[in-house]
């Protein structure tokens, strides 16, 4: 009895220790974001940035955020980013689900070699691909349009890999039973496996959304028209034009620019956690 009570106290102490350590690291990780939001509410930061940095503004005011939401160019950049991101996420996730299912459950010649080639694309950074992609889209006359930002997302090695790993955990008996009922491959995918792929689809939506929304280098290369600028391009141009003279307004813009990602994650986080939990369960 005494030993069990002692073991329980040790476990409680260990839980509290882990909680305190994780809480400290969480505060450290969140501090830059809290500071960014705080500076956005600090009207005096437009004159000079507060130093040393403080998490609570001396004169809190929604002035900077009011100007942000009245900014026509920001609204246009939001529309541009929304069009590009929604299209990229839909096409990228849809194609990755189909490819992941084919690599996991399909039986065709050269499957392993093709999958290795897909994995090899993960080792090639964006920089070496800029010139070939730019030349390609220049020849077909698609520069200064949204197509160069959307079409390359059709093939995403990371998303295809995640889909294959997820479908590998699902039992093959589901496919065999559907085949016995006369179902073709597309029918099996859409009616049997796709309804089970909600968690991994939500994870891919978040990843693809973040990649597309935050993309800066590739849009900078292919979009020269300011009317087509996405949110990162507009934020960069605003920072270059004003430097640190409007620090509060710049931080307010930065805060507003990440809001869609935060909102999307809050809605889909439970599916992400579910996909992580299911990734270690092998179906029988």
Do 130 and 234 fall within a single domain?
A: yes
User: Helix, strand, or coil here: 2?
Assistant: helix
Give, in degrees to the nearest 5, the angle at Cα 230 between 225 and 235: 100
Do 47 and 100 fall within a single domain?
A: no
Query: Which is nearest to 177 in space by CA: 195, 200, 164, 193?
Result: 193
* 162 occurs within a structural domain: yes
Place of tokens 């049997």: 192
Do 121 and 261 fall within a single domain?
A: yes
* 38 occurs within a structural domain: yes
Q: Has residue 95 got a pLDDT over 60?
A: yes
Domain that residue 91 falls in: 72-278
Q: Is the model more confident about 120 or about 61?
A: 120
Do 121 and 244 fall within a single domain?
A: yes
Question: How far apart are the C-alpha atoms of 16 and 34, rounded to whole Å?
Answer: 25
Query: Which is nearest to 68 in space by CA: 244, 240, 250?
Result: 250
Do 241 and 101 fall within a single domain?
A: yes
Q: Has residue 282 got a pLDDT over 70?
A: no
- Count of beta carbons in the 10 Å neighbourhood of residue 101: 24
Domain's final residue, options 70, 94, 122:
70
Q: Is the pTM of this model over 0.95?
A: no
How many domains does the chain fold into?
2
CATH of the domain at 223: 1.10.3720.10
Domain's final residue, options 51, 70, 89:
70
* 283 occurs within a structural domain: no
Do 172 and 207 fall within a single domain?
A: yes
- Residue 183's alpha-carbon distances to 76, 104, 197, in angstroms, are 46, 18, 19
Domain's final residue, options 70, 99, 117:
70
* 127 occurs within a structural domain: yes
* 169 occurs within a structural domain: yes
Q: Has residue 79 got a pLDDT over 50?
A: yes
Question: How far apart are the C-alpha atoms of 91 and 191, rounded to whole Å?
Answer: 20
pLDDT band at residue 7 using 50, 70 and 90 as cut-offs: low
pLDDT of residue 91: 93
- Count of beta carbons in the 10 Å neighbourhood of residue 282: 9
Do 61 and 76 fall within a single domain?
A: no
Helix ranges (H only) for 111-215 are 111-120, 126-139, 147-150, 157-169, 173-180, 185-188, 198-214
Place of tokens 């040393």: 52
Do 148 and 197 fall within a single domain?
A: yes
- As beta bridge partners, residue 60 has 42
Do 48 and 92 fall within a single domain?
A: no
Task: Look up residue 221 and give its two tokens.
Answer: 């290369």
Encode pLDDT of 13-57 as tens digits. Answer: 677 888 888 888 888 888 888 888 888 887 766 666 666 766 777
Encode pLDDT of 210-266 as tens digits. Answer: 899 988 889 999 988 888 889 888 888 777 666 556 777 778 888 888 888 888 888
Do 90 and 63 fall within a single domain?
A: no
């Amino acid at each position: 009895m005494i030993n069990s009570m002692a073991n329980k106290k040790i476990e409680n102490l260990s839980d509290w220790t882990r909680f305190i350590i994780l809480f400290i690291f969480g505060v450290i990780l969140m501090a830059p974001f809290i500071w960014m939001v705080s500076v956005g509410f600090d009207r005096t930061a437009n004159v000079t940035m507060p130093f040393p940095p403080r998490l609570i503004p001396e004169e809190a005011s929604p002035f900077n955020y009011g100007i942000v939401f009245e900014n026509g160019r920001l609204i246009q950049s939001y529309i541009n980013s929304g069009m590009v991101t929604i299209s990229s996420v839909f096409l990228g996730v849809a194609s990755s689900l189909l490819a992941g299912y084919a690599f996991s459950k399909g039986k065709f010649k050269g499957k392993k070699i093709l999958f290795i080639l897909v994995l090899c694309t993960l080792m090639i950074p964006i920089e070496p691909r800029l010139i070939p992609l730019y030349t390609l889209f220049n020849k077909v006359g698609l520069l200064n349009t949204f197509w160069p930002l959307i079409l390359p997302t059709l093939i995403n090695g990371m998303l295809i890999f995640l889909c294959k790993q997820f479908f590998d955990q699902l039992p093959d008996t589901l496919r065999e039973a559907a085949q016995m009922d006369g179902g073709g491959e597309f029918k099996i995918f859409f009616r049997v496996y796709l309804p089970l792929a909600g968690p991994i689809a939500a994870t891919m939506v978040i990843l693809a959304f973040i990649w597309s929304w935050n993309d800066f280098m590739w849009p900078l290369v292919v979009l020269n028209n300011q009317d087509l600028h996405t949110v990162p391009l507009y934020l960069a141009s605003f920072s270059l034009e004003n430097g640190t003279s409007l620090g509060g307004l710049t931080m307010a813009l930065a805060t507003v620019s990440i809001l869609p990602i935060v909102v999307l994650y809050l809605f889909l986080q439970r599916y992400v956690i579910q996909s992580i939990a299911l990734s270690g369960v092998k179906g029988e």
